[in-house]
Structure 1
């Protein structure tokens, strides 16, 4: 109907969907057309030439027996009483026994059956009057409210989905930043460990070089002393050793005080482990002892190590590294505790 079509178009429905709905229900009223549009909102509009209009029919008892299509439809629904039967009262509508709705014709009843799945119908003498203008306006308002609610639900679902996606995105970003920070911390730790190992290796190398220099100096001094003794015709006397007490005994017997040129040192680590022993020249600085200890213990830092003497109780730190072992009282021997 032109009036229903104009009304639907004024509501903003797509013209193609309006044509589809009106043709599909056979122009049977505004409400069925709106129901059809809402039911098929997400479906593509088919070729209207292939859409069959709902057949026009009259109530079951007043139908023309020559209208085979309507007769067969009513028989299928159990409405027809026979090919030429008639009711006591004239049937003016068709009623759904399951939900109580009444329909003007079999086309609308069939549409309701397909939509709801109901299959029990009966004839009714209730006459369905056409909608007044006021009722049409009310139906339109109900449709607008229904569509607004549907749009609101859809917007709420989309907002909920967007919030969930945003939370997932933020969590992924947080996890990625945390992973980057952990990797950065590991790289920093690796660099610190590498620098520490490099420092220890440098200290060991310096200590080894200094020890070699001292050994070379000692060897050259002994060689020079032997050569001088040979030139002067004196007996060659080897450097004193801890295993040969004869020179010390000779010095005591002759009354000449013995001059100690080396310091025998025993160092215990405050962190535990076996003690270290070494012999250094009496004129060697305390720093040389620190480098020796650092070369044998990776926990020792040359610039931070301290030495403690128990008897008498004294502590020696980096400020004493330039002093000789002789000046510090470590000659001829001393026992110390090294603390990192």
Structure 2
């Protein structure tokens, strides 16, 4: 049933109903609340709003079954109610019918001898309470639905945040692996480059030594052999020799003012472990130890103690151990 018709059935004047609809959001509970907060005395309720109020009064004229106009708020003595011939709805008075005509556009009304019984004050109060209860129930259901929707949205948000955090962490791990692999590749390339330099230096030294021996032999009138020269040429022109894989490293560790320590270690031994193994001879704590090589000159200090002998390219070499 239309909200206005429900309020008309409860006995509220049409003008007050329209005022309630204008001053609220148009819902039944808001309209009932406004009417309850703005009561009128019985005289005003019967006669309608005074002429100097701002209530809107419709000027539409309703036509009865006898063809005569029906004044708003009046029904002929013989008629008990008005019936809309377009939709068959029944109205207690012309004001209610006028409201229906304004909202629906229906204009065909007829009088009926059947009267719509007036609601007693108790029935009106009960009807009003029923409407309030139904409005409160709808409001509670709406609040419950809103709370459930909010909870579901929060669950979805947390799930999305968790998935996003997991994805970010996975990307960090992938990037960390890439960075570690790049560092290892750079270390391998550095080791190979150093080895190539060593090979070239050794080949050059050997070539100069062979040249000196040949010149010495020539001065002494001894026969010379071209094999060393061929070997030198081969060493200088050929590519880098294949590096031998070692599993152990024989280190000669020289300590300032103390005898050198010669000891073999697995190539996976860290510099920290090497320093700790000679602590009794060196008297230098591993955290304060510094390893140095002469050629190529290299210094390994506290931040390098986690490197292995293989990573530091300390395979079968002599190193100096000092206090940092």
| TM-score, normalising length: structure 1 | 0.48
Structure-1 separation of matches of 2:77 and 2:69: 17
Native 8 Å contact 2:15 2:55 kept in 1: no
Task: Give me the whole-angstrom Cα distance separating, in 1, the residues matched to 2:99 and 2:89.
Answer: 12
1:50 to 40, 47, 54: 54
Q: Does 1:125 align with 2:113?
A: yes
Q: Deviations over 1:77-123 (max 9, x none)?
A: x6452369xx9970122123466543232111122344456554321
- 1:122 aligns to what SS in structure 2? strand
Aligned counterparts, 1:276-291, within 5 A: 288-290=243-245
Q: Which has the larger radius of gyration?
A: 1
Whole-angstrom distance in 2 between the partners of 1:156 and 1:27: 33
Match of 1:81?
A: 67
Where does structure 2 lack aligned partners over 5 or more consecutive residues? 1-6, 35-51, 247-266, 269-309, 317-324
Shift of residue 208, structure 1, vs aligned partner: 0.6
Deviation string, structure 1 residues 247-288 (Cα, Å, up to 9, x no partner): xxxxxxxxxxxxxxxxx9xxxxxxxxxxxx9897xxxxxx94
1:234 counterpart = 2:222:
yes
Specify the alignment match of 1:26 in structure 2. Answer: 15
Aligned twin of 2:272: none
Alignment of 1:160-239 (within 5 A): 160-239=148-227
Contact map agreement 1:74 1:80 (CA 8 A) in 2: no
Aligned residues: 214
The worse-fitting range, judged by mean Cα deviation, of 182-191 and 96-105 is: 96-105
Task: Tell me the residue number matched to 1:272.
Answer: none
Contact 2:80/2:92 (8 A) holds in 1:
yes
Distance in 1 between the 2:19 and 2:89 partners?
A: 17
Aligned CA RMSD, in angstroms, stands at 4.7
TM-score (norm 2): 0.50
Take 1:208 and 1:145, find their aligned partners in 2: how far apart are those partners? 94
Structure 1 Cα separation of the partners of residues 102 and 203 of structure 2: 110
* Aligned-partner Cα distance in 2 for 1:101–1:38: 26
Q: Deviations along 1:2-31, whole A, 9 cap, x unmatched?
A: xxxxxx9xxxxxxxxxxxx967x1358xxx
> Does the 8 A contact of 2:207 with 2:228 survive in 1?
no
